[in-house]
Amino acid sequence: MDKRLAIYLPHLEGGGVQKVVRRLIGEFLGRGLAVDLLLNHRRGQWLEDLPPTVRVLELRAVLGHVRIASLVGYLRTAKPAALLALLEGPNLLSSWVKGLGLAGGTRVVVSVRNVDDRLVECYPFGLKKLLFKMLYPWSLRWADGVIAVSQGVKDGYLIRDGSLPEEKVTTILNPADVREVTAAMEEPITEDWFDRDFGPFLMGAGRLEPQKDFGNLIRAFSMVRREWPGRLLLVGEGSERKRLEALVGELGLGEVVRMPGHVRNPWKFMRRSEAFVLSSKHEGFGNVLVEAMACGTRVVSTDCPWGPSEVLEGGRWGRLVPVGDTPALARALSEALRGPHPVDHSGRLAGLSLGKCADRYLEVLGLGDAPPGVGR
């Protein structure tokens, strides 16, 4: 009998989580699973990339943002073998449904992608924020399994701070879909805003939100500019745009910093950048570091909790600097610019294959007997 897997996340807008889900769905389908994608909001640039066999369902909310009735109704009707939730909202709701005995025979697994307590701190004050602060880590123990996106998230956040039992949590690093990245990175750059005069450039990518600390990157870039006449490209969109644009103006960098918003293929820019920079205050993993390595690009990152040090194996594959240390970030960038380019990161990428990652997910989901797909 065919097995059905439900995957639940808020939407398919931006973010590394959405890209990972899109890649894993292809692997799951290749192993004969039927996949339902449950969304709070049916929106996002990755919707059109989904295989046609994926059933996309929007969970209807009542009383504002409450979707428990919709989720329970789906589980009772579709009876999926397993439910995989990702990100703090779906994780909390799915855990409650399991803990209240409303999931039927469905195995419920939640995936923690970040230090979620720090994300909750950015929520506006209100009932939602209060509920998450009081109930989130405690509620996760109701799930049948918890997947941590890095060992740091498992040990430092879920077990130490969240007091989850160690046997409940499995670490699965995000996969590197090298084939997708290497195919896309060779596409020509045709965007009007990227003219021939842009010249050599550094690149950062991600949501323009406080977590990413792009202000620190912009200030470090202004220091690097004293000895290197290059540019800075920041790809992404978010609530910090106006503040970052104001900082660019204050530092007199208006002619050399570009912030085009979301771009569909960031890898063609990564391939051509002199170095890729991750300046975050915290990361569960750091997908963009893996993608930059797949592009052969030099990498510089903050040594933030918890993912980047694991991705770069303590600095073996790129430079690590303290969080928020602008002079140290500037020095690391200057050193990276003097290093070899392109860089062969294949030794690290081999351990992050998409097929191996899908195998681990299926084991935790109780679907490990699904036949292996092609291209592992």
pLDDT for 58-110, tens place per residue? 999 876 567 999 999 999 999 999 999 998 889 999 999 999 999 999 999 99
CB distance 21 to 7 below 8 Å: yes
CA angle 90, 17, 359 (to 5 degrees): 95
CB distance 296 to 313 below 8 Å: no
Question: Contacts from 75-79 at CB under 8 Å and sequence distance 24+?
Answer: 75/6, 75/102, 75/103, 75/104, 75/106, 76/104, 78/4, 78/6, 78/36, 79/4, 79/104, 79/105, 79/106
Q: Is the dihedral of CA 290, 295, 296, 300 positive or negative?
A: negative
**What CATH number should be reported for the domain whose range is 4-175+353-364?**
3.40.50.2000
How far apart are alpha carbons 82 and 47 in whole angstroms? Answer: 22
CB distance 294 to 178 below 8 Å: yes
Domain edges within the chain: 4-175+353-364, 179-351
Residue 176: per-residue pLDDT = 80
What residue has token string 């992404």? 236
Residue 300: per-residue pLDDT = 98
How far apart are alpha carbons 267 and 132 in whole angstroms? Answer: 35
What's the predicted TM-score (pTM) here? Answer: 0.79
Residue 303: per-residue pLDDT = 96
| DSSP-derived pairing of the beta strands 231-235 and 107-112 | unpaired
CB distance 36 to 80 below 8 Å: yes
Task: Decide whether 4-175+353-364 matches 179-351 in CATH topology.
Answer: yes
Residue 130: per-residue pLDDT = 66
The count of other CB atoms within 10 Å of the CB of residue 199 is 11
Residue 124: per-residue pLDDT = 61
Q: Residue 333 burial by CB count (10 A; 0-12/13-18/19+): exposed, middle or buried?
A: buried
How far apart are alpha carbons 51 and 55 in whole angstroms? Answer: 9
Residue 266 CB partners (closer than 8 Å, separation 6+): 205, 235, 291
| Segments of the chain with pLDDT less than 50 | 1, 372-376
**What CATH number should be reported for the domain whose range is 179-351?**
3.40.50.2000
Residue 353: per-residue pLDDT = 86
Residue 376: per-residue pLDDT = 32
How far apart are alpha carbons 143 and 93 in whole angstroms? Answer: 10
CB distance 34 to 61 below 8 Å: no
